[in-house]
């Protein structure tokens, strides 16, 4: 099964994080832009995606990672860590 993300053409880096049993979060870096997708599957759609967020940055992205932050031991929040090349 294949899922093509037209918006993710020419990526320079990506990070993936499981969000629950039927979906994953995918963050892609394209030059100076970060885009967050949720890719999921269910009985009606084998694989489909939703563009959740988009962020423009001042410099070229050189580092990208995803993790999660647990608060009150029952809620987990996805975190995106990124680094840009020096702009000065």
**Residue 30 burial by Cβ neighbours in a 10 Å radius (0-12, 13-18, 19+):** middle
pLDDT (tens digit, 0 to 9) for every residue of the chain, 88 residues total? 566 777 778 888 889 888 777 788 989 999 889 999 988 877 777 778 889 999 999 888 889 999 988 888 777 888 899 998 875 5
* Sign, CA torsion 22/38/70/59: positive
pTM above 0.85, yes or no: no
Beta strands in the chain (DSSP E): 13-20, 23-30, 33-40, 48-56, 61-71, 75-84
Instruction: Kindly write down the DSSP assignment for every residue of 3-22, as one continuous string.
Output: ---GGGTT-SEEEEEEEETT
């Amino acid at each position: 099964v294949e899922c093509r993300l037209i918006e993710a053409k020419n990526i320079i880096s990506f990070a993936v994080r499981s969000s629950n049993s039927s979906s994953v979060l995918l963050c892609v870096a394209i030059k100076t832009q970060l885009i967050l997708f949720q890719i999921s599957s269910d009985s009606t759609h084998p694989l489909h995606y939703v563009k959740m967020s988009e962020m423009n940055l001042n410099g070229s992205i050189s580092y990208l990672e995803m993790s999660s932050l647990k608060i009150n031991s029952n809620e987990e929040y996805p975190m995106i860590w990124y680094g840009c090349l020096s702009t000065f």
